[in-house]
Homo-oligomer: A and B are copies of this chain.
């Protein structure tokens, strides 16, 4: 780990898209790889700043935009006014597909992986049908449930 070149998997994709491989991009992708939380741009900025104090917030935003465009990272809106980012794929993430339960009261976000099998089957069918009908290339999807969590429903 650390400086090892197990990270090479994404460098090829970067170069293939015409992007240069930089220390900032590597460390930002690292931060996303090493967590299963829903990080905001500022979360990532503060985390990355520890090992790379000179990095700027704008670089974090710019890098995240590229990562989202390439499909390596997913961007979510949980309704609290700031975007959240999660690794979409990678060496340890293939089987990490999940969706979100968002509490309208405390804004807490619960990841769930239940019912994913049925969902995947329906989504596969739906994506295929939509692609054909609208001639639309589907790259990703978002499924979110809104409601009140255990604590907030009693208030």
Interface string of A51-91 (1 = CB under 8 A from B): 00000000000000000010000010101000000000000
Residues of B within 8 Å of A133, CB to CB, are 112, 114
Residues of B within 8 Å of A129, CB to CB, are 114-115
Select the stretch in A1-9, A12-20, A25-33, A138-146 that faces chain B.
A138-146
Chain A interface extent, by class: 35 or more
CB of A122 within 8 Å of the partner chain? yes
Number of this chain's copies in the assembly equals 2
**Would you call B77 and A134 a contact (CB within 8 A)?**
no
Residues of B within 8 Å of A146, CB to CB, are 138-142
| Nearest chain B residue, comparing its CB with the CB of A143 | B143
- Using a CB–CB cutoff of 8 Å, the interface residues on chain A facing chain B are 69, 75, 77, 79, 101, 103-104, 110, 112, 114-115, 118-119, 122, 125-127, 129-130, 133-150, 153
